[in-house]
Amino acid sequence: MFQLLSLYGVFLKIGLFTIGGGYAMIPLMEREIISGHGWLTAAEFLDIIAVAEVTPGPLAINAATFIGFRLAGLGGALLATFGVVSPSLAILLLCGRFLARAILDPRAERFLKGLRPALIALISLAVITLGRAALIDPITALIAAAVFAASVIFRRLNPLYLIAASALLGLILYPY
């Protein structure tokens, strides 16, 4: 029971104190789940983030669901998911009318412009953190570089093709 409440509290904190969506939540998730509580290893966390990314739906919700399930089964999945979405849901329900008017205010636009650099920093931190865990040898670094280059060169290419190609390469190059 204590772990379930702790799990809910961690994801409530993640949902409450992170602005910018799933990618911005990854550093806080990593710090809380790996460093703070030791619930998962970096490799397990990276695997869950990878699966959450390719699963339909928002990254943060998928990751919370998968992490909760991994740690405490169905109850953990439900509580972690509810924890990460409940702050946004409460804010939308309580402030919906106000936000609809406030978003048109020029001050709100300036506020959001001020948040963008922070979001870029958080997403960059997630890339660095996950990159350290994912790039385990020269082959994985080469795959990452090739996918990055392909995504820059072929901007209109559906990312699912790059993910599928990477998964196929992983199956071929790491058969064990």
How many whole angstroms separate alpha carbon 133 and alpha carbon 141? 11
pLDDT tens digits, one per residue of 12-69: 998 888 776 777 788 888 889 998 899 999 889 988 988 888 888 888 899 999 999 9
What phi and psi values does residue 75 have, to the nearest 5 degrees?
-60, -40
Model pLDDT for residues 120-163, shown as the tens digit of each residue: 888 888 888 888 878 889 999 999 999 999 999 998 988 889 98
